[in-house]
Amino acid sequence: MKACKNYNFDLEERTLDFVKRIIRMCKVLSNDNVNRNLISQIIRSAGSIGANYREANDALGKKDFLMRMKIARKEAKETEFWLQLIIEANPGLEKKITLLLKESIELRKILSAIIIKSEK
Protein backbone atom coordinates (compact mmCIF):
# COMPACT_ATOMS: atom_id res chain seq x y z
CA MET A 1 0.00 0.00 0.00
CA LYS A 2 2.85 2.43 0.70
CA ALA A 3 4.08 2.24 -2.90
CA CYS A 4 0.82 3.86 -4.00
CA LYS A 5 1.32 6.79 -1.61
CA ASN A 6 3.76 8.32 -4.15
CA TYR A 7 0.83 8.82 -6.53
CA ASN A 8 -1.45 10.65 -4.07
CA PHE A 9 -1.13 14.27 -4.97
CA ASP A 10 -0.70 13.92 -8.73
CA LEU A 11 -3.68 11.61 -9.10
CA GLU A 12 -5.73 13.54 -6.56
CA GLU A 13 -5.18 16.70 -8.58
CA ARG A 14 -5.77 14.90 -11.86
CA THR A 15 -9.11 13.44 -10.72
CA LEU A 16 -10.17 16.83 -9.36
CA ASP A 17 -9.24 18.52 -12.63
CA PHE A 18 -11.16 15.82 -14.51
CA VAL A 19 -14.43 16.40 -12.67
CA LYS A 20 -14.00 20.18 -13.05
CA ARG A 21 -13.68 19.65 -16.82
CA ILE A 22 -16.80 17.46 -16.72
CA ILE A 23 -18.71 20.23 -14.92
CA ARG A 24 -17.56 22.82 -17.49
CA MET A 25 -18.67 20.51 -20.31
CA CYS A 26 -22.07 20.02 -18.68
CA LYS A 27 -22.60 23.77 -18.48
CA VAL A 28 -22.43 24.10 -22.29
CA LEU A 29 -24.80 21.22 -23.07
CA SER A 30 -28.31 22.15 -24.14
CA ASN A 31 -30.89 22.12 -21.37
CA ASP A 32 -33.18 19.36 -22.65
CA ASN A 33 -34.62 16.30 -20.91
CA VAL A 34 -31.98 13.91 -22.25
CA ASN A 35 -29.02 16.09 -21.26
CA ARG A 36 -30.45 16.87 -17.82
CA ASN A 37 -30.54 13.15 -17.00
CA LEU A 38 -27.10 12.49 -18.47
CA ILE A 39 -25.58 15.48 -16.63
CA SER A 40 -26.97 14.29 -13.32
CA GLN A 41 -25.45 10.85 -13.79
CA ILE A 42 -22.04 11.89 -15.10
CA ILE A 43 -21.36 14.49 -12.42
CA ARG A 44 -22.03 11.85 -9.76
CA SER A 45 -19.85 9.17 -11.35
CA ALA A 46 -16.98 11.50 -12.32
CA GLY A 47 -16.93 13.09 -8.88
CA SER A 48 -16.94 9.70 -7.25
CA ILE A 49 -13.68 8.72 -8.99
CA GLY A 50 -11.69 11.36 -7.13
CA ALA A 51 -13.66 11.08 -3.90
CA ASN A 52 -13.04 7.34 -3.65
CA TYR A 53 -9.40 7.70 -4.64
CA ARG A 54 -8.89 10.22 -1.83
CA GLU A 55 -10.66 7.93 0.61
CA ALA A 56 -8.41 5.07 -0.49
CA ASN A 57 -5.38 7.16 0.40
CA ASP A 58 -6.68 7.43 3.96
CA ALA A 59 -7.76 3.79 4.12
CA LEU A 60 -7.78 1.89 7.38
CA GLY A 61 -5.90 -1.04 5.86
CA LYS A 62 -5.10 -2.87 2.64
CA LYS A 63 -8.59 -4.37 2.29
CA ASP A 64 -10.23 -0.95 2.70
CA PHE A 65 -7.71 0.58 0.28
CA LEU A 66 -8.43 -2.02 -2.40
CA MET A 67 -12.19 -1.73 -1.97
CA ARG A 68 -12.12 2.05 -2.45
CA MET A 69 -9.74 1.81 -5.39
CA LYS A 70 -12.05 -0.72 -7.04
CA ILE A 71 -15.01 1.60 -6.49
CA ALA A 72 -13.03 4.47 -8.06
CA ARG A 73 -12.23 2.24 -11.05
CA LYS A 74 -15.89 1.20 -11.34
CA GLU A 75 -16.92 4.86 -11.34
CA ALA A 76 -14.36 5.59 -14.10
CA LYS A 77 -15.95 2.84 -16.20
CA GLU A 78 -19.40 4.28 -15.51
CA THR A 79 -18.19 7.74 -16.50
CA GLU A 80 -16.99 6.32 -19.83
CA PHE A 81 -20.51 5.00 -20.39
CA TRP A 82 -22.17 8.35 -19.68
CA LEU A 83 -19.67 10.20 -21.87
CA GLN A 84 -20.48 7.87 -24.76
CA LEU A 85 -24.17 8.67 -24.33
CA ILE A 86 -23.47 12.39 -24.11
CA ILE A 87 -21.55 12.15 -27.39
CA GLU A 88 -24.56 10.39 -28.92
CA ALA A 89 -26.94 13.09 -27.66
CA ASN A 90 -24.63 15.99 -28.65
CA PRO A 91 -22.83 15.05 -31.88
CA GLY A 92 -21.66 18.62 -32.51
CA LEU A 93 -19.49 18.45 -29.37
CA GLU A 94 -17.98 15.05 -30.14
CA LYS A 95 -14.35 16.25 -30.47
CA LYS A 96 -14.30 18.03 -27.10
CA ILE A 97 -16.15 15.26 -25.30
CA THR A 98 -13.87 12.60 -26.81
CA LEU A 99 -10.94 14.19 -24.95
CA LEU A 100 -12.81 13.65 -21.69
CA LEU A 101 -13.58 10.09 -22.72
CA LYS A 102 -9.87 9.45 -23.33
CA GLU A 103 -9.04 10.89 -19.89
CA SER A 104 -11.62 8.67 -18.17
CA ILE A 105 -10.11 5.64 -19.91
CA GLU A 106 -6.61 6.67 -18.79
CA LEU A 107 -7.80 7.16 -15.21
CA ARG A 108 -9.40 3.70 -15.25
CA LYS A 109 -6.17 2.16 -16.54
CA ILE A 110 -4.10 3.95 -13.88
CA LEU A 111 -6.46 2.80 -11.14
CA SER A 112 -6.35 -0.76 -12.51
CA ALA A 113 -2.56 -0.74 -12.47
CA ILE A 114 -2.50 0.47 -8.86
CA ILE A 115 -5.02 -2.22 -7.87
CA ILE A 116 -3.04 -4.99 -9.60
CA LYS A 117 0.20 -3.84 -8.00
CA SER A 118 -1.41 -3.57 -4.56
CA GLU A 119 -2.98 -7.04 -4.73
CA LYS A 120 0.44 -8.71 -5.03
Question: Distance between CA atoms of 120 and 11, rounded to whole angstroms?
Answer: 21
Q: Band the pLDDT of 120: cuts 50, 70, 90.
A: confident
User: Could you report the per-residue pLDDT of 24-70, keeping only the tens digit for each?
Assistant: 999 999 999 999 999 999 999 999 999 999 999 988 899 999 999 99
User: Could you report the per-residue pLDDT of 15-35, keeping only the tens digit for each?
Assistant: 999 999 999 999 999 999 999
Is pLDDT above 60 for 5?
no
Which pLDDT score is estimated for 9?
57
Which residues, 6+ apart, have CB-to-CB distance to 45 below 8 Å?
A: 75, 78, 79, 82
Question: Distance between CA atoms of 105 and 120, rounded to whole angstroms?
Answer: 23
Question: Distance between CA atoms of 94 and 79, rounded to whole angstroms?
Answer: 15
- Of the CA atoms within 13 Å of residue 119, those in its CB half-sphere come to 10
Domains of the chain: 2-119 (1.20.1440.60)
Which pLDDT score is estimated for 27?
96
